[in-house]
């Protein structure tokens, strides 16, 4: 019988410690080698840290921030915070000092965990403006002591010496399902982020909803690779709390730049990601093929034709038979299995894609060769999972049926409305915004537009706030056009422009590796990226790609003009959110001159 009533993820973690003890819970790179930490070892750290937080006078409901990338200490801090009834306030590791200040100030956090000296410096820059912030705990060791800052190791020692060691369990057992567990500040494509309040029950319910269809597929022998930010609710629920619930092991990627090497070392059975990662892997494979010998190109193209025919078998989980089975097995042995092995995906049971729309082209590329990608849907406000494709009923371009105990309906204006146990408590200190996002009958307004097919599967067609209303009054969703354009191997990133304009235009960042190869093969000389995008031959190439990948759209959705840019959009340069979505207002402001050049006087507003 379980020692703790499983009404919080902290209680579930404690029960797993009893059950799994010395089995590996997590692994991290130590001296270039992945090193395991057992459930028991994790729990010793969690309990010491929890006791230390209690010794500082942290009470139930107090807010504590974590400003760190993914690492085992993030889990330790989170479990300690939750176990004593406090509230975890995550801050994206990539946030600037001012962005961190907003979260710390608005949440009135009393303690902030920081990963490194770099994160500490960002907090120290704004510390004088944070009267409620009393303590800073740093995960890394400090070369020299700093006032008001303690290392995690020191916190463990102080926690171990705390006189009331029974306080941890008393706090843990006193947690009510309706108590707040976290405030997740939305990364925000517009304006200041809002603090999404999620309860312990929101998380427990959503993990249960996720596992309803995957319980038989996953267990204690599974291995996850964690690289999507833990500050993001998709990783928190699906890449952390879900593995805890099933007793699986989680390995931490060093950072997003090391994912390929980490995949090869870990060879996970499950990964959780955003579409951008799948896009990059797909583009990388296609780029490498360009340099391959003619015979390899021929075989790969033949294999991909077979992969296209394999889609119904993969999507519907049907057994391949007869001649086609032999043909697929031939290409699997020759191409697909070797590709999976080279990518570190040879043990993968399935991958999840969320946080934004995955293009049909990318989905079909992986599915065809037997790499199962399940696209899902949700928001921070829904903990996040509301919909997911299941094994045997995958529909590329769809996010699948709702998870159990979830009601979904489409409003008259096309907006997706959701009701279920995973829907948030509301926005922190913002009653007006909370009341705005709920209908009179209690459905949450997602801000997304979608349609539901005859089998109850949802497809996302755009975001209400991203809708472009042309000067002629036509409503256009830019996401679908952008995703289609990114199917071109020559187009890396794109933003459609056209709100209150007479026609659509596009800002495009080419896939420079592919465009450079094309230029060299076609005797187009260039001095660098800036020179390359000015070449008439390159402009013509991209123009033809736009034509090719938008021919299925209506006349009003066609792109009349475009501008090539020479710098990739990133979170650091502020065009992308931490979950790699476009910040359209930032892009429109930053590239105002380029945009205006596509709309000569009289062609714009």
Per residue in 392-415, pLDDT (tens digit) is 999 999 999 999 999 999 999 999
Phi, psi of 41 (to 5 degrees): -65, -40
Give the dihedral of Cα atoms 294, 299, 301, 303; nearest 10 deg. -170
| Residue 443 belongs to a domain | no
From 408, 426, 461, the end of a domain falls on: 461
Determine if the peptide bond prior to 384 is cis (ω within 30°): yes
Average pLDDT taken over every residue of the chain: 94
CATH of the domain at 483: 3.30.300.30
- Is residue 2 very low, low, confident or very high in pLDDT (cuts 50, 70, 90)? low
- Tokens linked to 413: 């204006």
Give the dihedral of Cα atoms 461, 463, 468, 474; nearest 10 deg. 50
Is the separation of the CB atoms in 272 and 352 below 8 Å?
yes
382 and 411 housed in the same domain: yes
Q: How far is CA 197 from CA 237, 338, 378, 406, in A?
A: 14, 45, 15, 19
| Dihedral sign (CA 443, 200, 378, 494) | positive
Over pLDDT 70: what percentage of the chain?
98
- Per-residue pLDDT of 369-395, as tens digits, reads 999 999 999 999 999 999 999 999 999
| Residue 229 belongs to a domain | yes
| Per-residue model confidence (pLDDT) at position 255 | 84
- Residue 13, pLDDT > 60, answer yes
- Residue 157, pLDDT > 70, answer yes
353 and 241 housed in the same domain: yes
| Residue 367 belongs to a domain | yes
Q: How far apart are CA 239 and CA 230, in angstroms?
A: 8
Q: How far apart are CA 564 and CA 435, in angstroms?
A: 42
Is the separation of the CB atoms in 156 and 49 below 8 Å?
yes
- Where residue 356 falls (left for φ over 0; alpha for ψ -120 to 50; beta otherwise) is left
| Residue 564 belongs to a domain | yes
249 and 384 housed in the same domain: yes
Q: How far is CA 120 from CA 73, 124, 184, 208, in A?
A: 15, 6, 20, 36
Buried b (16+ CB within 10 A) or exposed e, 489-514: bbbbbbbbbbbebebbbbbbbbbbbb
Q: Which is it for strands 385-388 and 401-402: parallel, antiparallel or unpaired?
A: antiparallel
391 and 524 housed in the same domain: no
Over pLDDT 90: what percentage of the chain?
85
- Per-residue pLDDT of 84-115, as tens digits, reads 999 999 999 999 999 999 999 999 999 999 99
Task: Quickly tell me which residue has 């010491």 as its tokens.
Answer: 48
Is the separation of the CB atoms in 14 and 175 below 8 Å?
no
Higher-confidence position of 3 and 197: 197
- Tokens linked to 557: 């959705």
Higher-confidence position of 531 and 477: 531
| Residue 97 belongs to a domain | yes
- Residue 510, pLDDT > 90, answer yes
| Per-residue model confidence (pLDDT) at position 605 | 45
- Tokens linked to 485: 């354009």
Collect all residues with Cβ–Cβ distance below 8 Å to 387 and sequence separation of at least 6. Answer: 376, 377, 378, 399, 400, 401, 402, 403, 406, 408, 457, 458
CATH of the domain at 88: 3.40.50.980
| Residue 430 belongs to a domain | no
| Dihedral sign (CA 23, 28, 30, 33) | positive
- Per-residue pLDDT of 234-262, as tens digits, reads 999 999 999 999 999 999 998 888 999 99
- The DSSP output letter for 482 is H
Give the dihedral of Cα atoms 249, 364, 415, 497; nearest 10 deg. 110
Q: How far apart are CA 80 and CA 69, in angstroms?
A: 17
530 and 588 housed in the same domain: yes
Is the separation of the CB atoms in 104 and 113 below 8 Å?
no
Is the separation of the CB atoms in 393 and 453 below 8 Å?
no
Q: How far apart are CA 405 and CA 420, in angstroms?
A: 6
376 and 456 housed in the same domain: yes
- Tokens linked to 295: 């015979």
- Residue 289, pLDDT > 80, answer yes
CATH of the domain at 204: 3.40.50.12780
394 and 494 housed in the same domain: no
SS3 467: coil
From 432, 461, 490, the end of a domain falls on: 461
- Per-residue pLDDT of 47-56, as tens digits, reads 999 999 999 9
Q: How far is CA 63 from CA 59, 107, 177, 235, in A?
A: 9, 7, 17, 21
- Per-residue pLDDT of 460-507, as tens digits, reads 988 888 889 888 888 898 988 998 999 999 999 999 999 989 999 999
Q: How many domains does the chain have?
A: 3
Is the separation of the CB atoms in 28 and 226 below 8 Å?
no
| Residue 410 belongs to a domain | yes
274 and 412 housed in the same domain: yes
- Tokens linked to 446: 């997602």
Q: How far apart are CA 275 and CA 236, in angstroms?
A: 17
286 and 403 housed in the same domain: yes
- Residue 450, pLDDT > 90, answer yes
Q: How far apart are CA 65 and CA 494, in angstroms?
A: 35
Query: Residue range 128-156: average pLDDT?
Result: 95
- Residue 328, pLDDT > 80, answer yes
- Is residue 187 very low, low, confident or very high in pLDDT (cuts 50, 70, 90)? low
| Residue 435 belongs to a domain | no
Higher-confidence position of 152 and 2: 152
Task: Quickly tell me which residue has 């020479």 as its tokens.
Answer: 566
Most confidently predicted of 277-286, 302-311, 563-572 = 302-311
355 and 492 housed in the same domain: no
Collect all residues with Cβ–Cβ distance below 8 Å to 115 and sequence separation of at least 6. Answer: 67, 68, 69, 71, 73, 93, 138, 139, 140
Is the separation of the CB atoms in 157 and 151 below 8 Å?
no
| Stated pTM of the model | 0.88
Q: What is the largest CA-CA distance in the chain?
A: 77
From 112, 140, 175, the end of a domain falls on: 175
Q: Which is it for strands 24-30 and 87-91: parallel, antiparallel or unpaired?
A: unpaired
- Residue 1, pLDDT > 80, answer no
Residue-number span of the structural domain to which 342 is assigned: 200-416+450-461
140 and 217 housed in the same domain: no
| Dihedral sign (CA 304, 310, 315, 317) | negative
155 and 206 housed in the same domain: no
Q: How far apart are CA 210 and CA 28, in angstroms?
A: 26
């Amino acid at each position: 019988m379980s020692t703790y009533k499983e009404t919080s993820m902290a209680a579930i973690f404690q029960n797993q410690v009893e059950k799994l003890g010395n089995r590996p819970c997590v692994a991290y790179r130590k001296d270039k080698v992945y090193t395991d930490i057992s459930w028991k070892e994790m729990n010793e750290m969690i309990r010491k840290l929890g006791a230390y937080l209690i010794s500082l006078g942290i009470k139930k409901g107090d807010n504590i921030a974590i400003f760190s990338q993914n690492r085992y200490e993030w889990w330790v801090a989170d479990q300690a915070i939750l176990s004593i009834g406090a509230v975890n306030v995550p801050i994206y590791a990539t946030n600037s000092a001012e962005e961190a200040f907003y979260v710390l100030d608005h949440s009135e956090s009393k303690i902030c965990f920081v990963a490194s000296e770099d994160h500490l410096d960002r907090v120290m820059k704004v510390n004088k403006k944070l009267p409620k912030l009393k303590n800073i705990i740093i995960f890394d060791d400090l070369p020299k002591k700093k006032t008001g800052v303690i290392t995690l190791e020191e916190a463990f020692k102080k926690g171990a010496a705390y006189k009331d060691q029974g306080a941890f369990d008393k706090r843990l057992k006193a947690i009510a399902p309706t108590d707040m567990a976290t405030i997740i500040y939305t990364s925000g494509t517009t304006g200041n982020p809002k603090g999404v309040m999620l309860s312990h029950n929101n998380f427990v319910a959503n993990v249960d909803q996720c596992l309803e269809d995957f319980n038989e597929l996953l267990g204690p022998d599974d291995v996850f690779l964690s690289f999507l930010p833990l500050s993001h609710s998709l990783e928190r629920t699906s890449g952390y709390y879900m593995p805890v619930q099933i007793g699986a092991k989680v390995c931490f990627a060093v950072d997003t730049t090391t994912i390929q090497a980490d995949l090869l070392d870990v060879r996970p059975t499950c990964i959780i990601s955003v579409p951008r990662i799948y896009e990059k892997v797909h583009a990388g494979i296609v780029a490498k093929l360009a340099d391959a010998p003619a015979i390899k190109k021929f075989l790969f193209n033949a294999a991909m034709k077979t992969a296209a025919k394999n889609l119904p078998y993969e999507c519907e989980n049907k057994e391949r038979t007869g001649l086609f089975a032999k043909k697929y097995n031939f290409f699997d042995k020759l191409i697909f299995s070797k590709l999976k092995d080279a990518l570190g995906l040879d043990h993968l049971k399935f991958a999840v894609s969320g946080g934004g729309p995955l293009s049909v082209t990318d989905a079909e590329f992986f599915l065809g060769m037997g790499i199962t990608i399940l696209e899902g849907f949700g928001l921070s406000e829904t903990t996040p999972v509301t919909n997911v494709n299941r094994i045997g009923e995958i529909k590329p371009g769809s996010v699948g049926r709702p998870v159990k105990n979830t009601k979904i309906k489409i409003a008259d204006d096309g907006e997706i409305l959701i009701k279920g146990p995973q829907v948030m408590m509301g926005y922190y200190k913002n009653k007006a915004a909370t009341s705005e996002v709920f209908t009179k009958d209690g459905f949450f307004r997602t801000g997304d537009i979608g349609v539901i097919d005859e089998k109850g599967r949802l497809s996302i067609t755009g975001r209400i706030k991203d809708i472009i209303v042309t000067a002629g009054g036509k409503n256009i969703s830019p996401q679908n056009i952008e995703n289609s354009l990114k199917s071109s191997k020559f187009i890396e990133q794109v933003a459609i422009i056209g709100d209150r304009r007479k026609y659509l235009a596009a800002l495009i960042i080419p896939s420079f590796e592919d465009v450079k190869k094309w230029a060299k093969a076609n005797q187009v000389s260039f001095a660098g990226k800036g020179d390359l995008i000015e070449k008439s031959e390159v402009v013509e190439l991209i123009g033809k790609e736009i034509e090719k990948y938008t021919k299925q759209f209506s006349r009003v959705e066609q792109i009349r003009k475009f501008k090539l840019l020479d710098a990739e959009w990133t979170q650091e340069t502020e065009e992308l959110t931490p979950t790699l979505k476009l910040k359209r207002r930032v892009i429109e402001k930053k590239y105002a001159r380029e945009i205006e050049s596509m709309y000569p006087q009289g062609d714009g507003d």
